[in-house]
Amino acid sequence: MVKTAWVFPGQGSQAIGMGSDLFARPAAQDRLQQAAQILGWSVPEICQSDDDKVSNTLYTQPCLYTVESLLVDELRQQGQQPDLVAGHSLGEYVALYAAGVFEFEAGLRLVQRRAELMSQASDGMMAALIGCDRDQLDQQLQERSDVVLANDNNAGQVVISGTPDGVNAVMAAIKSKRAIPLNVSGAFHSPMMADAAAAFQPLLDAVTFQSATVPVLSNVDPTPTVEGAVLKDRLIRQMTGSVRWREISLQLPDEGIERVVEVGPGKVLTGLIKRTCSGIALENVSSLADLAAE
C-alpha cells in the first residue's frame, strides 16, 4: 500500500460554488441540517451566493470546515483512510476531525467561535512576501517586536503579521519579488491575537479530544502525534503561533509518505508541497468528480 497523507486547506482557498455537487448527495443532508442548526444559516446558500459571502471570515471558516468534512466522509465511504493528516490553519480542525479526535459537531462549534473572534479582530495587518531574501527577513524580525512570521509556507513564500507600521516597515526594508498586503481583519497567527485566544480557550477546554486514529502534524509543532492532550495543547497555541507549513512538508518524506491528497477547494497546499519536496505523488479532491477518479 502507498503511504498516504491527507492535507486540508484553510482560509484563502474558498471559492463561490464550492461543495455544490456534494450538497445534493443524500448522505450530506443530515450533516448540512446539523450545520444549519448550529450556525443559524445555510452552508449551501452561503457557498453559492454570487455576492461572495463565502469570503467573509465569519462564513468562510465554517463553510470550509463543512465542505472538507463532507469530502472526508465521502472518502471514508469509498474505504479510504490516510496514514497521516495535516491542515493549514483552519484546515487543522478538519485534519483533527478526519483523525477521529472529535466529532463533526464539536469541531464546527469550535470553528464557528474561532471565526467570530477572528472576524472581530480589528488591529493589525498581514502581508505575503513572494521570493524574499529570507536571511534579510529573519534579521528584520529579530530586530522588531511588532512583527512575526505568521505563515512559513515554503522557501519562497511567507506571510508576516503584526502592527500596520511594523508590517509596512518590514515590507519596505527587505528585497522580495512581490509584497502583497492581505485583505484580512487582523494580525492572525501573532501575539496580537492573544485576547481572541483567551476568549476561545473556555470552549476549547470543554471539548474532549480523543486519541487520533492516525498521526497528526500540527501547525505549531510539525512532529507527528496521536495523543489527544498534546493535540489540544497545540491547537490552543495555533491562534497566536506561526503556521509552520514548510516544516510540515519536509516532515512528509521523513514519515515515509509517498502520496499526498489535498482534500478541499483549490490546489494551494499541493503547490506548496511540490516546491518543497520532490518525489511525492500529489492529488486534489475538491468535488464528486475528483472522488470518482480516486
Alpha helices in 126-244 (DSSP H): 134-143, 164-173, 194-206, 228-238
Q: How many helices (H) and strands (E) does the chain have?
A: 13, 9
Q: Are 100 and 212 in contact (CB under 8 A)?
A: yes
Distance CA(87)–CA(96), nearest Å, equals: 8
Q: In sequence order, what are the residues at sequence separation of 6 or more whose Cβ sits closer than 8 angstroms to the Cβ of residue 110?
A: 93, 102, 203, 204, 207
Catalytic residues: 89, 189
The phi, psi pair for 83, rounded to 5°, reads: -95, -15
3-state DSSP assignment of residue 117: helix
Neighbouring residues of 48: CB distance < 8 A, sequence distance ≥ 6: 16, 17, 20
Burial of 134 (0-12, 13-18, 19+ CB in 10 A): middle
- The x, y and z cell numbers of residue 223, run together, are 512532529
| Residue 257 · residue 278 · CB < 8 Å | no
37 three-state secondary structure? helix
Q: Maximum Cα–Cα distance for the chain, whole Å?
A: 56
Residue 186: CB atoms within 10 A of its CB come to 21
